[in-house]
Amino acid sequence: MKRHYMDALHVAGGGFTSHERKLRKAIRQLIKASDTLTAAIEGATEQFDAEKGALMDATSAAEKALKGGKR
């Protein structure tokens, strides 16, 4: 059920079943875990972008040196 419908049902006195409460709790936890994972991935991406660039530069320099200074 869509949240606004479930909330309206609750306000109308319909209440939630035990299963619906467990489901809502599980969905909240899933959303929180998803947000946490997304933040961690974004942080890791930002952290390693500079290192990736440095590695690529070093690899290019090594390749150039191995080819006798020619690119």
CA–CA dist 8, 67 (Å, integer):
72
Tell me the pLDDT tens digit for each residue of 20-63. 999 999 999 999 999 999 999 999 988 888 888 899 999 999 99
Q: How confident is the model at residue 6 (pLDDT cuts 50, 70, 90)?
A: low
Q: What pTM did the predictor assign?
A: 0.52
Domain ranges, ordered by start, for the chain = 3-66
Residue positions counted in the chain: 71
CA–CA dist 61, 54 (Å, integer):
11
CA–CA dist 55, 14 (Å, integer):
61
